[in-house]
């Protein structure tokens, strides 16, 4: 184990990326980075991390912001429950801990939106406590080094890999080792078919000896993806330069964000039939848009429509186009506005 530790740490010290959250021991900043990087690539998450740190340099600033402002700052990252949990936890730490981020693993784990991995990362990186981090990169690396075919998303697998990660971790420098093993998985022991010939852990890798690298790690069946069909009604007032939007208050994707009024259909055929029946009252804007979420695939059609009798305009508000930047919009809606350059359909 110690040989593997030293190889990973040595490789990290030569190959690590210079990332801003690695230059701090501030638990608030480390927590921000961990939440932002969930389901997000480092390249994309970097600018959001810097934006949050600049806008909310102290956790009290984040706690005192309203949710709409936080969602607007988060806009484009997706998985908006992360932003809501971030806001809720900031308020919790401000009220219960007087703005001081908790230092024990057990207290950190009780924070909203914080799981075992994130709690271990904060405890380790901020306080140098010996808790092994087990993210996707670590799962992959451990499964290959020890040639483990136990599914990583099974109860048995999670226990087995957590035990191994803790056994392998350098207890004398846990923060350094945790950063190193994750970076090794991210840059060297990559998914698919990594370049094993240049890997410094090649002599320890049981999966390589068994010609089993590309098939590891093993996962159980994939989560079923749900298809949804949205018809969005774009109502523009060219004279006042306003758009009709509504805030999603129901429990669903993009809760508390703003979107165009819409009708959801059971299937694509029903949506096409509705458009055909109402072709005199609506104007198609573009082809069908596909937007992929973690467990949902959205099929969206945008149409210009000035007749509110066709769609439900309850709870809608007229928003000046010049003020759209102040409203949190799902990426699907934001992308439509970008592609159409806010062109009014009735203007020459």
- Name the token pair of 38: 């969930």
| CA neighbor of 139 nearest in space, from 148, 126, 130 | 148
Decide if 74 contacts 83 (C-beta within 8 A): yes
Provide the CA 144 distance to its chain's centre, in angstroms.
Answer: 26
| CA neighbor of 258 nearest in space, from 326, 308, 345, 341 | 326
| CA neighbor of 216 nearest in space, from 135, 158, 141, 159 | 141
Q: Which of 34, 54, 206, 318 is catalytic?
A: 34
Q: Which residues contact 125 (CB under 8 A, 6 or more apart)?
A: 21, 25, 30, 175, 178, 179
| Half-sphere exposure of residue 114: CA atoms within 13 angstroms, side-chain side | 28
- Name the token pair of 215: 């098939």
Rounded CA gap, 243 and 320, in Å? Answer: 6
Q: Which residues contact 242 (CB under 8 A, 6 or more apart)?
A: 236, 318, 319, 320, 321
* Helix, coil or strand: residue 280: coil
Pinpoint the alpha helices (H) of the chain. Answer: 2-15, 27-36, 42-55, 59-64, 67-74, 81-96, 105-109, 116-127, 136-145, 155-168, 174-187, 206-209, 268-277, 331-340
318 as an active site residue: the answer is: no
* Helix, coil or strand: residue 281: coil
Residue 179 has phi, psi (to 5 degrees) of -60, -40
- Name the token pair of 305: 């429509």
Query: Which are the catalytic amino acids?
Result: 34
């Amino acid at each position: 184990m110690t040989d593997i530790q030293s190889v990973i740490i040595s490789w990290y010290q030569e190959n690590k990326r210079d990332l801003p959250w690695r230059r701090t021991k501030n638990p608030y900043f480390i927590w921000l980075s961990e939440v932002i990087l969930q389901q997000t690539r480092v390249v994309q998450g970097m600018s959001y991390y810097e934006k949050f740190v600049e806008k909310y340099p102290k956790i009290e600033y984040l706690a005192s912001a309203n949710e709409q402002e936080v969602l607007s700052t988060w806009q484009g990252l997706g998985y908006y429950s992360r932003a809501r949990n971030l806001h809720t936890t900031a308020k919790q730490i401000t009220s219960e801990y007087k703005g001081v981020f908790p230092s024990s693993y057990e207290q950190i784990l009780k924070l909203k939106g914080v799981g075992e991995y994130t709690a271990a990362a904060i405890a380790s990186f901020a306080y140098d406590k010996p808790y092994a981090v087990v993210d996707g990169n670590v799962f992959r690396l451990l499964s290959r080094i020890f040639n483990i075919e136990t599914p990583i998303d099974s109860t048995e697998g999670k226990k087995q890999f957590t035990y191994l990660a803790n056994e392998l971790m350098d207890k004398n420098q846990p923060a350094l080792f945790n950063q190193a093993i994750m970076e090794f998985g991210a840059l060297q022991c990559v998914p698919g078919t990594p370049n094993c010939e240049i890997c410094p852990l090649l002599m320890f890798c049981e999966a390589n000896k068994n010609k089993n690298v590309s098939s590891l790690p093993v996962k159980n069946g994939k989560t079923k993806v749900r298809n949804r069909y949205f018809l969005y009604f774009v109502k523009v007032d060219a004279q006042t330069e306003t758009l009709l939007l509504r805030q999603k208050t129901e429990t669903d994707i993009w809760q508390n964000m703003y979107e165009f009024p819409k009708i959801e259909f059971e299937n694509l055929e029903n949506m096409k039939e509705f458009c055909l029946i109402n072709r005199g009252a609506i104007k198609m804007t573009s082809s069908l848009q596909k937007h992929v979420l973690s467990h949902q695939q959205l099929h969206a059609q945008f149409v210009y429509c000035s007749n509110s009798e066709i769609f439900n305009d309850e709870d809608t508000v007229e928003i000046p186009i010049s003020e759209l930047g102040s409203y949190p919009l799902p990426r699907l809606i934001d992308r439509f506005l970008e592609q159409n350059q806010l062109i009014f359909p009735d203007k020459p």
